[in-house]
Chain A
Amino acid sequence: MDNREVLVDIKNLRTFFYTEDGVVPAVDGIDLTIHQGEVVGLVGESGCGKSVTALSIMRLIPDPPGKIVGGEIFFHGEDLLKKSNEEMRLIRGDKISMIFQEPMTSLNPVYTIGDQISEAITLHQKINAVEAKKRTIEMLHLVGIPEPERRYSQYPHEMSGGMRQRVMIAMALSCNPDLLISDEATTALDVTIQAQILDLMRGLQKKLGMAILIITHNLAVVAEMADTINIAYAGKIVESATAREIFKSPRHPYTYGLLQSIPKFTEKRTSEPLPAIEGMVPSPYHMPKGCSFNPRCPFATEKCREEEPELVELAPGHMVRCFHPIES
């Protein structure tokens, strides 16, 4: 895996929001590496900073109130944070594209889906309208939309949720990006439709070879899709390793607690209560001192309440941010 070229290298990213009620450190030390053609999962609960990380990569943080206050985002070796808005415009939708949770709000309701995909293509590639249409229909066909010629002139409201998500994927992949960011793209879909979309994404990844950053709260989805997994908690990466390692020997107490607490679909029913993580995610306005997980951690000591742990490599490729990691 590591002999593949590094595509994205995020170092100590910090994105804060300056609100009337105070400063929200939404992302406060995210480190993330994506190799070419790799599927990377970024997992966490609401407020852990996973979506803000994605928007930071795209440089789409609303400013004000948001601001990227520190860190670097290398893409093909160049720091995206040093790019001008004009340069970013050429990268977005071309080299990096993104799909979102709710396809209805990401598609323009007054244009046909064909027009919207062609627009993305003509914006980034020097081709005429006829060729763009041809390419659009090719893309619709590629994402498994039946009768692409007819669908080309349909509006978003004429399609189901699963079909709209396919349109979003067609649009995102129309310029052959090196990186596709999927932000909870299958969360709003039904299980059987989610299976269709995940299957499609897997197939397209194999065929086209782009890297995918999958952002989700669903551990099962990343278990099926990702090569490596990063677990975020309260704006920081707390653990990162291969998917296999994360599920087989989680080292951070949060990762461990999370894996324990989800009901196992493949196991027989027991009457035992689920091992739950006590308490709740800290308010971003009142982050605890020391390790941000310490108020909920069963292993927390005085040190955890005072000092902040660093992300350290416990085993080759297995990074953990904890003073008392669980033995493997």
Chain B
Amino acid sequence: METRLVEVQKLKKFFPIKGGVFSTTVASVKAVDEIDFFINQGETLGLVGESGSGKTTAGRTMLKLLQPTGGKIIYKGKDITKLTPNEMRPLRRNMQIMFQDPYGSLNPRMPVGDIIQEPLDVHAIGTRKERRQAVKAMMETVGLRPEFEKRYPHEFSGGQRQRIGVARALVLNPELLVLDEPISALDVSIQSQIINLLQEMQQRLNLTYLFIAHDLAVVRHMSDRVAVMYLGKIVETAENDELFDHPLHPYTQALLSAVPVPDPEVKRERIILQGDVPSPVNPPSGCHFRTRCPYAMPICKEQEPAMIEVSPDHTVACHLLTKK
């Protein structure tokens, strides 16, 4: 039986917009608006969506790097939503995050050995000597030469810097790793190296990944299950092949059909969506996707579609399916 490592229920994260003389909250950006998902131990959940869909905020709120506005986060069966930063600290060892930008996420004034060691220092793990040992072993594991520990980030290429990011995230031996667009800043020939490294690490250390990305080909390659976000909502979740081969939500269908395929002989039926993603400050009433949906009906304006399970582990929020 698969065990759930983490689960979020009705998770909400709003960012207030302050205005007026007294700096009162005049509106809020509904970045994440009541989403549900879970991740089983050892699996990868791909979280996809376009910019502004709230996927990064969802990942950070799940780790409580952002305090949720509402909803629950359950980690290993325990509700961690209300924990104070002090109570969170021992848990933080088990949850790490890796960022997109290999340039901005490493301190340029710190040698890479110290960067990778910092999490060990913060959690006061082992003696000084043991920490150094762990750092060197970790550098070796991710494909960096341990004798480079005294070098600074600028001496490394983008791909190597992402390896440093992986080493820093894994040095505490975490259970859960949020990968926030870990390869989108890299060159094509380097991307596959980092994808392979992440998959190898997952198998070797039994890691659980939340893989946030907009590149659907990479998500297909990496994920066991996939959740699709649009304007703060999850619109569809399914097992990998099921989602890519039988997408049911009109947005998922359009998104998948929009991906260019590297084969000139494949001519695909393309659904071109009209217009742009609306503002998350003022999302459309009812279904958030209705303003761009080719199948929008009157009910979509009035009522928000509920998440329904169309087949085991395949859930969709769309009125087209509730009608039947």
Contact = CB atoms under 8 A, between A and B. Distances in A.
B88 interface: no
Given A219-B262, A244-B265, A261 B191 contact: yes
Interface stretch (B12-20, B112-120, B123-131, B192-200): B192-200
A193 B277 CA distance: 9
A46 B262 CA distance: 19
A273 interface: yes
Contacts of A262: 188, 191-192, 217, 262
Nearest to A194: B258
Interface in B247-297: 254-255, 257-266, 270, 272-273, 276-277
Interface residues of A, number: 45
Nearest to B266: A266
A224 B241 CA distance: 24
Given A192-B273, A193-B276, A244-B264, A269 B189 contact: no
Contact of B258 (A191, A247, A259): A191
B187 interface: yes
B301 interface: no
A247 B276 contact: no
B191 to A, nearest CB: 7
B102 to A, nearest CB: 13
A265 B217 contact: yes
**Most B CB within 10 A of own CB, among A192, A217, A221, A262:** A192
A262 B190 CA distance: 10
Residue of B220, B259, B264 with most partner-chain A CB within 10 A = B264
B221 A257 contact: no
Given A45-B189, A217-B187, A224-B260, A190 B196 contact: no
A142 interface: no
Given A223-B264, A280-B159, A195 B276 contact: no
B214 A191 contact: yes
B51 interface: yes
Nearest to B264: A243
A281 B195 CA distance: 18
Interface string A270-312: 0101111110110000000000000000000000000000000
Nearest to A271: B199
Nearest to B257: A195
Contact of A199 (B160, B262, B270): B270
A218 B260 CA distance: 9
A315 interface: no
Interface string A27-58: 00000000000000000011000000000000
A71 interface: no
A243 B200 CA distance: 34
B188 A191 contact: no
Interface string B189-223: 11111011001100000000000001011101101
Interface of B: 50-51, 157, 159-160, 187-193, 195-196, 199-200, 214, 216-218, 220-221, 223, 240-241, 244, 254-255, 257-266, 270, 272-273, 276-277
